[in-house]
Amino acid sequence: MIGQVGADPAVPVDPTVRAILALAQGPGEGGFDPERARAGLRALTVTARSPASVASVRAVEPLSVEGMDARVYRPESQGPVPTVVYFHGGGFVLGDLDTHDNHCRWLCRETGAAVVSVAYRRAPEWPFPAAVDDAVRAVAWAARNVDALGGLPGPPAVAGDSAGANLATVTAQVGAGGGGPRPSAQLLTYPVTDMREDAGYPSRRTYGTGHLLTADAMRWFRSCYRPGAASPLASPILGRLAGLPPAVVVTMGHDPLRDEGEAYAAALAGAGVPVVRHRFDALVHGSFELPVLSPACAEAMRTAFGSFRGLLTRSGSEAR
């Protein structure tokens, strides 16, 4: 286990990130609305994206995965490579293949893996557990098609950010319990691990205003997703953790989800799961999706994805 990076709550927000936060818009007079919120996220992550921040990969190809739109990002290496199934964040309501395109590009480039990004069904049109069902089916599809994807033998790894990290680790729990293939490794970036609204994590109060993810937005996401909060399929911290694949867990210092992500990492370690933990104190929730990557963001991505590459390399060696 590797300890947290930084871990000083007094570290201020990175200046470039702070400037982007000043430009980010709240819900406006009409309150939260799915279509307006989705458009807002696309404007921030796609329309405003700096070309200099975009990572190059060998190829990006469209796919259909169990009827879901998907993309595979291929690294420069053309030999058999690890396969990673990726689920985007956005509170189970926002986000799509485009908003997290650069995240997947960085993940592909820094890990040397083929990354399959999947557009699962979103709330409120499709509330819980539709996204979970889609995620489990996507991992099973990737496991069946690993040869066609150019992957190394063995089950794929899973990765995601925020709500997508929730789906990634839930698929790992389902697989470990025999309900699907058990992923080889998991990368959980600022994960949602506890959907109980009354869970007493201090970071929810400390960082619940003034950042890209707010307490009000979290309540709205829950109202759209309508999870059974006491179900491990919604709150994986309540699930069976023994026997899960090794994990990299990434948290940000100025994030309302910081404490539950770190509690989940500690619970995994307590259950005997190998865990690499990184906390980046100057960054906020959603930093890996920002349109302009500060040096601090870029270094954090290299560090976190480099740790994940280590897990993929070890699991690939074991598969051979």
CATH code of the domain containing 251? 3.40.50.1820
- Asked about 69 being catalytic, the answer comes back as no
Number of domains in the chain: 1
Q: Where are the beta strands (DSSP E) in 174-284?
A: 186-189, 247-254, 275-284
Residue 80 included in any domain: yes
| Higher per-residue pLDDT: 58 or 29 | 58
Residue 2 included in any domain: no
Residue 8 included in any domain: no
In the chain, pLDDT over 70 holds for what percent of residues?
92
Residue 48 has pLDDT above 70, yes or no: yes
**pLDDT range class, residue 269, cuts 50, 70, 90:** very high
Residue 155 included in any domain: yes
- Asked about 255 being catalytic, the answer comes back as yes
The whole domain housing 81 covers 15-319
Residue 176 included in any domain: yes
Matching residue, tokens 């590797």: 2
Range in 22-36, 70-84, 102-116 with the lowest mean pLDDT: 22-36
* Active-site pick, 184, 285, 287, 315: 285
Summarised one tens digit per residue, pLDDT across range 131-166 is 999 999 999 999 999 999 988 999 999 999 999 999
- Asked about 259 being catalytic, the answer comes back as no
β-pair type (186-189, 157-161): parallel
List % helix, strand, coil for the chain (3-state, nearest 5).
Answer: 40, 15, 45
Residue 10 included in any domain: no
CA nearest 17: which of 218, 305, 214, 297? 297
* Active-site pick, 117, 162, 235, 287: 162
Residue 265 included in any domain: yes
Residue 234 included in any domain: yes
